Amino acid sequence: MYKTSSIVYIFLAAFAATAEEAPSPDGTTVSGLSYKTVSAREFQVTPDTGEDMGAPLSALIHQIIKEQTPAIIQLEKGTYYLDGNGCDHSVFMVDHARNLIIRGEGPETRLIVGRPSIGTFFFSSGEDLWVEDLSIDYDPLPYTQGRVLVVNAKGGWFDLAIDPGYALLSEPWFANAPDPDGKWGMIFSPKEPALKPGAADFVYIEKWEQLGKRAWRLFPPAEHTQRLADLRMGDRFVQLARHGKGGAVFFWRCVESGVRNVHIYASQSVAVGAVSTDRITVSRLFVGRKPDTDRLVSTDADAVHIQQNLRGPVIEECLFESMADDGINIYYPSNIVTSIVSETAVRTDRSGIIEPGDRLQLFDAMEGRILLETKAESVVPGPDNEYRVTLDKALPELEVGAVHGLSLHNVSRCGADFIIRKNTFRNHRRHGMVIKAPQGVIEDNVMESLGGYGIVVGNDAETPEGIVPYDLSISGNHIREVGRSRWYGVDNMAAALQITTHAERGRLAKERAIHGITLRNNRFENPPGPALYIGAARNIHIDTLQISYSENSVVPKKTAAIVIENADTIGMKRIQVESQQKEVHAGVLICDSVDEGLEGADIEEIQITGPITMETVRDERQ
């Protein structure tokens, strides 16, 4: 831990006088702009003092914003303690800034946040804002970990011995985390820093009580007590305090901003987040367990979380590991229709932002259909946190006042035109990527040892989140050993790569709304059943796909390597399947809901190596 000095606050009071002197520039040019470089040390932002550097660095940032001159704030190597006192949301709230770079000298420039319930950088309403060449960590951490002593599944509890050096559950940031989504934990293997294979990937914890100095009894809610069957004495367990306040670096309504060469070892929420933003770049970001520690997780939530972005992100050459959630999530939070006002107007909740001129889809989640593609002609905020949205086209024949599981997807704010390239995803809780956006490129990524699937392409009709993706290029990816946690392998639509239009209650949609997906040169090892599932889709083209199941792989149900259901215009060529598992009964399964003949599925050059009973293609249409 670190101490806080009152000298810092004396400096803050005097800052207005001293900061009038312009920091010395060095004429650095970035992207055609001339940036002055400001030495943070000259403004008493000094490493390795053990004193709070959050207040003076925040004051320096705000002084530079006032000057409205492109600037680089240069931090030296060393440890900068940020105590977070007086901060309700994030240590650095940076509003209406432009052309600002906060730069360290590599991961040895260490920012240590002292309050595990707040974020670090929160940028809002800015442009050309960057965090570069530094690392972010927390002390104390926004989670704790320990080893399971006793499990009483019938009694609905288990005992946990918290590891030395980790916070006790009596600390306020655990009790004060939001219910229930901020208070849950994960089961880890006894020896490896990895999720326990075949176990539930999360367990809500409703309450806890102290038994001894470091021993605690944890109680899941009634609906999660059956998950205690996955716990054994000696297993390790991580309990999160997930507060969801921004993230290590978060952008709200920003343009052309991002992070480069940043290491993030912990966060009470996401590593990098962007909401209602236009083109974020995430380059050479490392999210993972701090080296030379016995930590089991990195961040409490996703590595990169993209919501309601006008143009999607560019995410390249990153390493994501040990997060408590997804690697990358791109989506729009659909607006639930609460009533139909007229033949051209609806009321919706305000889950997502809608502005006049935005392109919208009216989606029927009950059936899984896009009923209308239109634009917002006018948007008027209403009572009860609602919008009244007038459309430029008439609604289909729906009864005025009635609501039938309808929602609006905003195509203009869903993160379209994204690039995800040359990243590695390793040993984290859920999916590698969750893609609910169109017109993107996913290429040359590696996903391995994940609790969830490798790539999930499709809408979420339950939450709901959209949109239904289209026009994607997925090439050169290597996905191995994914879907390792309980449930993922036995789901009806399980696959290392899932391309699906969903209806409510986890059902396959009736409409083949997802379309225009091209797969080239992808490789799968030991998938959780199928390597590829295509459902409620059309115009999917696959060229060169390699799938292998080793003798030691776990295939939880009878399956084919590729499953096609409720689809048309599916083209495949150069498919290779090698299996040593008798559960894999065919290379390709074409379900009877696929259109007849080659108009439904056209397969060329498929090679199968496996048990003598294994079929090349099982066609249920015949």
Predicted confidence at residue 27, as pLDDT, reads: 54
**Amino acid (1-letter code) at residue 583:** E
For residue 64, which of 25, 31, 33, 26 has the smallest C-alpha distance? 25
pLDDT by residue (tens digit) across 541-568? 999 999 999 998 989 899 999 999 999 9
Predicted confidence at residue 398, as pLDDT, reads: 76
Residues 6+ apart with CB under 8 A from 482: 432, 447, 448, 449, 450, 452, 453, 454, 488, 496, 527, 528
Do the Cβ atoms of 381 and 348 come closer than 8 Å? no
- Residue 28 confidence class, pLDDT cut points 50, 70, 90: confident
For residue 516, which of 502, 498, 499, 531 has the smallest C-alpha distance? 499
Per the structure block, which two tokens stand in for 540?
Answer: 């999917």
Predicted confidence at residue 579, as pLDDT, reads: 96
Predicted confidence at residue 44, as pLDDT, reads: 97
Kindly state the average pLDDT of the residues 390-417: 89
Predicted confidence at residue 114, as pLDDT, reads: 97
Q: Provide the β-strand partners of residue 164.
A: none
Kindly state the average pLDDT of the residues 413-439: 98
Task: Give yes or no for residue 26 having a pLDDT over 80.
Answer: no
Task: Return d(Cα 264, Cα 58) in angstroms, integer.
Answer: 20
Per the structure block, which two tokens stand in for 584?
Answer: 């894999």
Task: Give yes or no for residue 217 having a pLDDT over 80.
Answer: yes
Residues 6+ apart with CB under 8 A from 283: 258, 259, 260, 261, 314, 315, 316, 317, 318
Kindly state the average pLDDT of the residues 601-611: 95
Task: Give yes or no for residue 404 having a pLDDT over 90.
Answer: no
- Residue 205 confidence class, pLDDT cut points 50, 70, 90: very high
Kindly state the average pLDDT of the residues 140-147: 98
Task: Give yes or no for residue 3 having a pLDDT over 50.
Answer: no
Predicted confidence at residue 106, as pLDDT, reads: 98
Q: What is the 3-state secondary structure (H, E, C) of 170-215?
A: CCHHHHCCCCCCCCEEEEECCCCCCECCCCCCCEECCEEEECCCCE
Task: Give yes or no for residue 15 having a pLDDT over 60.
Answer: no
pLDDT over 70 for what percent of the chain? Answer: 95
Predicted confidence at residue 346, as pLDDT, reads: 94
Task: Return d(Cα 184, Cα 199) in angstroms, integer.
Answer: 15
Strand 532-549 relative to strand 497-500, pairing: parallel
Q: Is 7 helix (H, G, I), strand (E, B) or coil?
A: helix
- Residue 400 confidence class, pLDDT cut points 50, 70, 90: low
Q: Is 454 helix (H, G, I), strand (E, B) or coil?
A: coil
Q: Is 26 left (phi over 0), alpha (psi -120 to 50) or beta?
A: alpha
H-helix segments, 130-170: none
Predicted confidence at residue 399, as pLDDT, reads: 66
Radius of gyration of the chain (CA): 26
Residues 6+ apart with CB under 8 A from 458: 435, 436, 468, 469, 498, 499, 500, 501, 502, 514
Task: Give yes or no for residue 20 having a pLDDT over 90.
Answer: no
Which domains does the chain possess? 7-140+244-325 (2.160.20), 143-240 (2.40.10.170), 335-411 (2.40.30), 442-619 (2.160.20)
- Residue 12 confidence class, pLDDT cut points 50, 70, 90: very low
- Residue 401 confidence class, pLDDT cut points 50, 70, 90: low
Kindly state the average pLDDT of the residues 190-201: 96
Q: Is 494 helix (H, G, I), strand (E, B) or coil?
A: coil
Predicted confidence at residue 384, as pLDDT, reads: 85
pLDDT by residue (tens digit) across 507-536? 999 999 999 999 999 999 999 999 999 999
- Residue 22 confidence class, pLDDT cut points 50, 70, 90: very low
Predicted confidence at residue 397, as pLDDT, reads: 83
Q: How far is CA 416 from the centre of its chain?
A: 16
For residue 361, which of 376, 349, 342 has the smallest C-alpha distance? 376
Q: Provide the β-strand partners of residue 584.
A: 559
For residue 385, which of 418, 352, 409 has the smallest C-alpha distance? 352
Kindly state the average pLDDT of the residues 443-451: 98
Do the Cβ atoms of 465 and 502 come closer than 8 Å? no
Predicted confidence at residue 313, as pLDDT, reads: 98
Kindly state the average pLDDT of the residues 395-420: 89
pLDDT by residue (tens digit) across 309-336? 999 999 999 999 999 999 999 999 999 9
Task: Give yes or no for residue 137 having a pLDDT over 70.
Answer: yes
pLDDT by residue (tens digit) across 349-381? 999 999 999 999 999 999 999 999 999 999 999
My answer on whether omega of the bond before 383 falls inside 30° of 0, hence cis, is no
pLDDT by residue (tens digit) across 69-85? 999 999 999 999 999 99
Predicted confidence at residue 32, as pLDDT, reads: 80
Q: Is 488 helix (H, G, I), strand (E, B) or coil?
A: coil
pLDDT by residue (tens digit) across 145-192? 999 999 999 999 999 999 999 999 999 999 999 999 999 999 999 999
Predicted confidence at residue 24, as pLDDT, reads: 37
Q: Is 559 helix (H, G, I), strand (E, B) or coil?
A: strand
Q: What is the mean pLDDT of the chain?
A: 93
Per the structure block, which two tokens stand in for 143?
Answer: 């989670």
Q: How far is CA 511 from the centre of its chain?
A: 27
Predicted confidence at residue 21, as pLDDT, reads: 37
Predicted confidence at residue 23, as pLDDT, reads: 37
For residue 438, which of 273, 570, 256, 309 has the smallest C-alpha distance? 309
Kindly state the average pLDDT of the residues 242-260: 97
Do the Cβ atoms of 106 and 78 come closer than 8 Å? no
Predicted confidence at residue 25, as pLDDT, reads: 40
